């Protein structure tokens, strides 16, 4: 539980700092309500905390499971407890 509290604090602090540096016009570039992470991939995303300034999600993707295409409305900070191999993510972000 202490580790989770540390993760939440680190993610919250980094997210808040990063959000303050962004402009409002960049936030909704790919996001729609239908492709929000909680709507598009609810089996893998769990909402831990949300307020007007920060949203903390726990994401668990089991080996061999494909994560549905989704977007996060605001800039994200990721904290990995274990590493994974991603296929196709770079091609999607570059528009190919």
> How do the pLDDT tens digits run along the chain, 96 residues long?
666 666 555 556 566 655 555 555 555 677 889 989 999 999 999 999 999 888 999 998 888 888 888 888 877 888 878 766 666 555 455 554
CA distances to 33, 47, 62, 91 from 40, rounded to whole Å, are 9, 13, 17, 20
Domain limits, the chain: 2-93
């Amino acid at each position: 539980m202490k580790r989770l509290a540390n993760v939440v604090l680190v993610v919250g602090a980094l997210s808040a700092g990063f959000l303050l540096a962004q402009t409002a016009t960049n936030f909704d570039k790919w996001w729609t309500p239908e492709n929000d992470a909680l709507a598009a991939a609810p089996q893998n995303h769990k909402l831990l905390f949300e307020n007007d300034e920060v949203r903390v999600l726990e994401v668990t993707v089991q080996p061999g499971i494909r994560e549905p295409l989704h977007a996060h409305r605001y800039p994200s900070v990721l904290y990995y407890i274990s590493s994974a191999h991603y296929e196709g993510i770079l091609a999607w972000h570059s528009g190919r």
